[in-house]
Structure 1
């Protein structure tokens, strides 16, 4: 079983990077997995509409029994003797229950499972199973505890079954993309098989909670690839098609993130085009203000000024550095003297943080010059 089963379509995202930068960058806007110190307390939702209530889960539940399954009697809370990769970390995820102590399935429950499963390789599967079951039962009352353990059983079976699908379609995609394009028919077949597998292992509400957001991003990525591979569309038509797809998505956080990313992509593209044409600072500010608002435009303008200031000092540094190295080469002074003077020059022109950037920035400038030539 793989250490990371977060997305059955990671091959799609990986190949999409090659085809379109915009598809790859959306990874940065996927919902973050905020860590929860679940060894101290677990979150519950206070929602009047659903009847969920906030319950103090700070202490292990008195009604939580210890099962003998998978020899989990070696753990009291599941957090004893954590493997090295998990030591010093907060337990990620959540266990949500309603006012009747029924489990409310969320994506956070899947994150909780994956947190412990990430140690597979350091610990055997049976040990991880015992750890997760003990953790659930020591922090969750019944019947929610047993419900969560049942879903964990289903999740383990699902991960084992999906490995074959990923291997099968991963090999097919590698063969298809040797021509430089993604076979969307193969992607569609894979999605169908995965959907069928999920239905075999999970209830509908669990599928939605565990995989709904992930599927939204996968569908978006696939559609972006489809648009980029359509040679009959011009660049402007492709951009319009991307915007149209986002506008037709349901109003949720995924749509908001993708719309924000689309604005960012356009912002980067238009900034590069305007700078290449010698746009003024005012022109850049006005363009950015229309796309991302006045506060963000002002911050970007400040970044431009800081970058320009750094460039000026860097160019000054390079000129003086080369002069000192040339003098050393002519034996007017020793190499040691030259390096001492260069170090003094760096301290005069740059702060501690900027000095750490110098070598990388110099390499970047050399690469830009090489590309220009």
Structure 2
């Protein structure tokens, strides 16, 4: 997994939240994917923590369950690529790749039971580590999962900027302070630095950037200069990734504009090829085609579904007929997507 891309992707989401939260919703927790262990598995926060503690106790008593079954469908064919490091004395060396390993498996909660997800991580740790690093990693996993569980409570209790007296930015700063305090309560300084330092650095950058853009006392040229100066405070590796993300974003917007103005597929391909190369341009062209075909199938389904709804059949017969159309025209996860999209079609 690419650590820097993960940081940028999560923090770019923060930027969107910062720009829109004061109008429509409450802010997100700065790039953390808050894993709701309760919603998908009927686990309460209390019982989830109890399960987490029990599995740690079992692991420390040499009762780690070895998981040999295939990963869940969403992770099929994907390798986490994390080699856990130790020092010369066999102690765990904490770095951000270990956090990514945890998140790799935690992302599958909801596709398989919470307990089995934790057992998968423990099994992976056991396959790579020996004492004392193994016990240290197991402890860190337990604390990381408890921390993620705790995030659910903070997210539920966060005030909406629409009804709170502070500005949206101040709300987000307050939540960021809460988040930092929570992290400090679960992780020592080295763990905190390795897991969260670059993410928080970029979050602070985004907050400052938004504050500059919203400062009505500054003219556009001064804003641009201040943003350029702020950009230079970022590490070079993050700035490099930002440039690539910006390039792709600008290219996407340009391609979409060309399509809306009636430019040919060949013209769009040429623009992409000049910026990204032939292979990437071909992949994007295939993606365009796949999306167009998918939209065509959705449109056809909607027409059939609407005809059934207008047919005068009973509600039960309508449901059976619509489900039959979905089963005939779509397969596997496509059926889940169509049913999820049903109300918005």
Q: TM-score, normalised by structure 1?
A: 0.51
Partner of 1:68: 58
Q: Select which of 122, 132, 157 maps to 1:133.
A: 122
Where do 5+ consecutive residues of structure 2 fail to align?
1-5, 22-30, 32-55, 255-266, 273-281, 293-345
State the distance in 2 between where 1:213 and 1:139 align: 26
Match of 1:172 among 132, 152, 160: 160
Q: 1:201 aligns with which of 164, 170, 186?
A: 186
Q: Relative to structure 1, is the Cα distance of residues 134 and 67 closer, same or farther in structure 2, using a 3 angstrom cutoff?
A: farther
Q: Structure 1 residues 194 and 353 mapped into 2: Cα distance closer, same or farther (>3 Å)?
A: closer
Contact kept? 1:72, 1:130, Cα under 8 Å: no
C-alpha contact 1:96 1:105 (8 A) present in aligned 2:
yes
1:183 partnered with 2:161: no
Tell me the equivalent position of 2:276.
Answer: none
Q: Which of these residues, 205, 211, 216, is aligned with residue 231 of structure 1?
A: 216
Q: 1:136 to 1:262 in 2, by over 3 A?
A: closer
Paired residue total: 230
Query: 1: distance between equivalents of 2:60 and 2:133?
Result: 20
Structure 2 counterpart SS, 1:68 = helix
Query: 1:144 and 1:231, CA in 2 relative to 1: closer, same or farther beyond 3 A?
Result: same
Q: What's the Cα RMSD here?
A: 4.4
2:201 counterpart SS class: helix
Q: Normalization by structure 2: what TM-score?
A: 0.55
Q: Which runs of 4+ in 1 moved over 6 A?
A: 5-11, 351-356
Q: With CA pairs under 8 Å and 6+ residues apart, which has the higher RCO, 1 or 2?
A: 2
Which of 62, 66, 85 is the matching residue for 1:96? 85
> Any conservation in 2 of the 1:79–1:135 contact (CA below 8 Å)?
no
Structure 1 residue matching 2:227: 3-state secondary structure: helix
* TM-fit CA distance, 1:128: 1.6
Structure with the greater alpha carbon radius of gyration: 1
Q: Give distance in 2, aligned partners of 1:91 and 1:12.
A: 25
The answer to whether the 8 Å contact 2:90/2:131 transfers is: yes
Match of 2:26 in 1: none
Task: Note the residue ranges of structure 1 that are not aligned, 5 or more in a row.
Answer: 20-29, 31-65, 272-302, 309-350, 361-373
Kindly state the Cα deviation for residue 200 of structure 1 after the two structures are TM-superposed.
Answer: 0.6
